Amino acid sequence: MFKELDPILHSQLRLAVMSLLISVKEAEFTFIKEKTNATAGNLSVQIQKLKEAGYIEVIKEFKDNYPNTTCKITTQGVSAFEEYVKALQQYLNIGQQ
Amino acid sequence: MPEEKEFNSEESLQLITSMINKVKSSYHDSGTGALLWGSAVSISAFITYLEVEYDFYIGFDIWLIVLAAIIPQIVISVRENKRKQFKSHDDLALDAIWITYAITIFGLIAYQNIVPGATQDLNKQEGWSLIKHYLDKSHPDEAIAPFPLSITSIFILIYAFPTLITGIIKKFRPMIVGAIITYALFVASCFTSFKYDMIFSGIAALVCWFIPGLILRKRYLQLAKQKEQNV
């Protein structure tokens, strides 16, 4: 039985954000934007979707008198990401047979 | 990167791998901390050796520069942390290791300064003292204060441990090599007098921190230059 791919993660930009966040403890919005080559507007929308799904935590604070957004993957996000990768591997194994 | 694009399982895995690699290649230590500690400890150790070898005193305890180096180190750490756009899991582990190392070193300095006096007091309470006895009877016996034997060897041993862990976690060969050399210096220092232990300490600081610091600094400046050119 195929596991269904999580629709929240099966989007290029959201998956890129989650892949970045799974490798770090936390990352600033500017860093994510630079690494994903996304526009600020598009990235904000996708981050909001991930936040609503409970996959990431968004911390807004001031750094050197400027607003600064930091994102952090949640435990729920880690589980969802692991499940997504497992499902992908299943698809790939079937494809190779 | 477009918001929604149809992509297959293979492309998904490629994307995950490429993002993880992008994070890995984003970590660049400026090497400032390593250079600072490498210089402070090696200068102090080599000057102590010269003081003992040529019997002179520079007028103050040279090891105070190591204590003084804590202030710029704090400033550098705060600045670098502010500049960092992300925190890795490795950073947290390494911070914990280096804090533990600093506490251990200060604990050992305290031990070195407190234990001899405390031991002498305890010995007095028990009614005995240590005596220096010349086997050839060329000098009369004399009372001496207790002292920790070859404590510099222990310092050298401790220099190697956070360096080796950092080298292994960061896959940074110069630190791994530096730590291995330092373990060899520790073994050698067990058989030599204080004067030579100081030379070994200086070499340990150079190979553990100063040389890796120079390499890190060079890489950091090269990358900064590349980034500037790309903008």
pLDDT at B208 over 70: yes
**Any chain A CB within 8 A of the CB of B23?**
yes
From chain A residues 69-88, the ones with a CB under 8 A of any chain B CB are: 85, 88
Give the best residue of A3, A8, A15, A82 to mutate against chain B (max B CB count within 10 A): A15
Distance CA(A24)–CA(B155), nearest Å, equals 34
pLDDT reported for residue B224: 82
State the pLDDT confidence band at B85, using cuts at 50, 70 and 90. Answer: confident
A46 CB neighbours in chain B (<8 A) are 3
Residue B102, min C-alpha distance to chain A (Å): 24
**Among B73-77, B137-141, B214-218, which is the least confidently predicted range?**
B73-77
Residue B148, min C-alpha distance to chain A (Å): 43
pLDDT reported for residue A65: 82
In this structure, which amino acid lies at residue B20?
I
With an 8 Å Cβ cutoff, are B9 and A27 in contact?
no
pLDDT tens, chain A, 97 aa long = 566 789 999 899 999 999 999 999 999 999 999 999 999 999 999 999 999 999 999 999 888 788 899 999 999 999 999 999 998 888 877 766 6
Give the best residue of B9, B11, B78, B89 to mutate against chain A (max A CB count within 10 A): B9
Through-space distance between the first and last CA atoms of chain A, rounded to whole angstroms: 15
B87 CB neighbours in chain A (<8 A) are 24-27
State the pLDDT confidence band at B58, using cuts at 50, 70 and 90. Answer: very high
pLDDT at B40 over 70: yes
Query: Which one of A38, A64, A85 has the shortest CB-CB distance to B1?
Result: A38
* Whole-structure pTM value: 0.82
pLDDT reported for residue B230: 67
Higher pLDDT, A92 or B64: B64
For B2, residues 6+ apart whose C-beta sits below 8 A from its C-beta are A12, A13
With an 8 Å Cβ cutoff, are B86 and A91 in contact?
no
pLDDT reported for residue A25: 92
| Residue A81 and residue A22 in contact, taking contact as beta carbons nearer than 8 Å | yes
pLDDT reported for residue A1: 57
**Any chain A CB within 8 A of the CB of B13?**
yes
Q: φ and ψ at B151, to 5 degrees? A: -65, -25
pLDDT reported for residue B6: 62
pLDDT at B3 over 60: no
With an 8 Å Cβ cutoff, are A31 and B26 in contact?
yes
Higher pLDDT, B182 or B170: B182
Q: Identify the closest residue of chain B to A90 by CA–CA distance.
A: B9
Taking 3-state DSSP, the helix, strand and coil percentages for chain A, each rounded to the nearest 5, stand at: 55, 20, 25
pLDDT at B27 over 80: no
**Any chain A CB within 8 A of the CB of B9?**
yes
**ipTM for the complex?**
0.86
Q: φ and ψ at A71, to 5 degrees? A: -115, 145
pLDDT reported for residue B120: 92
For B138, residues 6+ apart whose C-beta sits below 8 A from its C-beta are none
